[in-house]
């Protein structure tokens, strides 16, 4: 699978076997609001406050989680199932020169990696998804939408520092 930038404002497409699964579209460049439709579900991601320190995740208008930046410099993706069970994922940049985000579950098991395939001449960020031991109650495509958004947010946060 791949995450391919579809515009300079952060939009990206999730590609599986050369077919487009879905596209995350930022509705407003400055507010960081984004929307996608995956398997008939409307997904909306929007900042909780003006500083974008916490971002809420909605699925079919119900809040199912959030994304935050922790003190260790990792993105924390918290998701909740309908039964109230909570799951946490960490998105960590594990490379110095080229972006390589690794995603871990709350048991610290490596789930997958987002490996940057960018050239220095291109401003957008594309990633190849390298699977590890993925064992989540969430579809991989859904979690990849949240991780792609979190990677964009991570880059925005560290570039502002």
Q: How far is CA 103 from the centre of its chain?
A: 10
Q: Where are the beta strands (DSSP E) in the chain?
A: 2-5, 12-16, 19-28, 33-38, 41-47, 54-59, 62-69, 75-80, 86-93, 100-105, 110-116, 127-131
* Per-residue confidence band for 23, with pLDDT thresholds at 50, 70 and 90: very high
Residues 6+ apart with CB under 8 A from 151: 75, 91, 99, 101, 114, 125, 127
Which is nearest to 14 in space by CA: 161, 5, 74? Answer: 5
Question: Please, are residues 143 and 149 in contact by the beta-carbon 8 Å criterion?
Answer: no
Helices (H), 20-160: 140-160
Percentage above 90 pLDDT, the chain: 65
* Structure confidence by residue, pLDDT tens digits, 81-134: 989 999 999 999 987 777 899 999 999 999 999 999 875 555 568 999 999 989
pTM: 0.92
In this predicted structure, which of 12-21, 29-38, 78-87, 138-147 has the lowest mean pLDDT? 29-38
pLDDT of residue 10: 85
């Amino acid at each position: 699978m791949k995450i391919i930038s579809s515009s300079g404002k952060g939009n990206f497409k999730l590609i599986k076997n050369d077919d487009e699964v879905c596209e995350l579209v930022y509705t407003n460049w400055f507010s960081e609001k984004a929307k996608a439709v995956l398997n008939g579900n409307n997904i909306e991601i929007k900042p909780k406050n003006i500083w974008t320190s916490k971002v809420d995740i909605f699925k079919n208008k119900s809040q199912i989680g959030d994304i935050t930046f922790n003190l260790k410099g990792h993105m924390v993706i918290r998701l909740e199932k309908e039964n109230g069970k909570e799951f946490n994922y960490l998105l960590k940049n594990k490379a110095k020169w080229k972006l390589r985000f690794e995603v871990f579950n709350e048991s610290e098991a490596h789930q997958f990696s987002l490996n940057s395939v960018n050239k220095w001449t291109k401003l957008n960020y594309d990633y190849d998804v390298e699977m590890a031991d993925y064992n989540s109650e969430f579809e991989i495509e859904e979690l990849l939408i949240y991780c792609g958004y979190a990677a964009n947010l991570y880059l925005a946060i560290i570039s502002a520092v």
